[in-house]
Amino acid sequence: MFDRLYTPSVWSEMERLQREMNRLFNAFSPGWMRPAPCFPAVNVWANEEGQVVTAELPGVKMDDLDISVVNDTLTISGKRETAEPAGNGKYHRQERECGSFSRTISLPYPVDADKVEAVMEEGVLRITLPRAEADKPRKITVKSA
């Protein structure tokens, strides 16, 4: 009855899910993938000192990118231009989209705007946003009376 060869596809789907979950937990525990509401999808990382935001923006030039920070709000906007192909031919498939984009993200901590660094490498944007000094946790020493 339960011969694995004839098990319904539900099983393989379950196995796939399980594999996926294991991998996710191994790679990025305890994070969980959420659907991106708009372009570009971002990953946000944090520690007590600050946060890092990464986004995949292949084909976007640094000059076409605009990054702004106000307190704990980060806005990434820009455009991706079409590289005009040579000669007059035709597209067999066109999956890579061009156009403008703008995304605003609420960060875990307010940011020290002067110390924000953005690097674009191989189509991957990485923004390092140090936590504002005033927001950092303070160690309180308890004096003996």
Partner 1 sequence: MSKEIEVKKKQEIAPAEGQERARDRSLFVPLADIYETDDSVYVAADMPGVNENSVDITLDKNVLTIRGEVDAVAPQGYRPVYLEYGVGDYERKFVLSNEIDREKIEASVKDGVLSLKLPKVGPAIARKITVKKG
Please, which contacts does 132-137 make with residues 24 or more away whose CB atoms are closer than 8 Å? Answer: 132/71, 134/110, 135/109, 135/110, 136/48, 136/49, 137/48
Does a cis peptide bond (omega within 30 degrees of 0) precede residue 40? yes
Q: Of these, 14, 16, 113, 119, which contacts partner 1 (CB under 8 A)?
A: 16
Collapsed DSSP state (helix, strand, coil) of residue 36? coil
Residues numbered 74 to 133 that lie near partner 1 (CB under 8 A) are 79-80, 83, 85-102, 108, 120, 122-124, 126
Question: To the nearest whole angstrom, how small is the minimum distance from the Cβ of residue 71 to partner 1?
Answer: 17
- Span from 20-28, 67-75, 111-119, 136-144 in contact with partner 1 (CB under 8 A): 20-28
Q: Using an 8 Å Cβ cutoff, are 118 and 127 in contact?
A: yes
- Alpha-carbon distance of 141 to 138, in angstroms, equals 9
Residues numbered 25 to 64 that lie near partner 1 (CB under 8 A) are 27-28, 30-47, 51-52, 54, 56-61
Where on the chain is the footprint of partner 1 (CB under 8 A)?
A: 12, 16, 19, 23, 27-28, 30-47, 51-52, 54, 56-61, 79-80, 83, 85-102, 108, 120, 122-124, 126
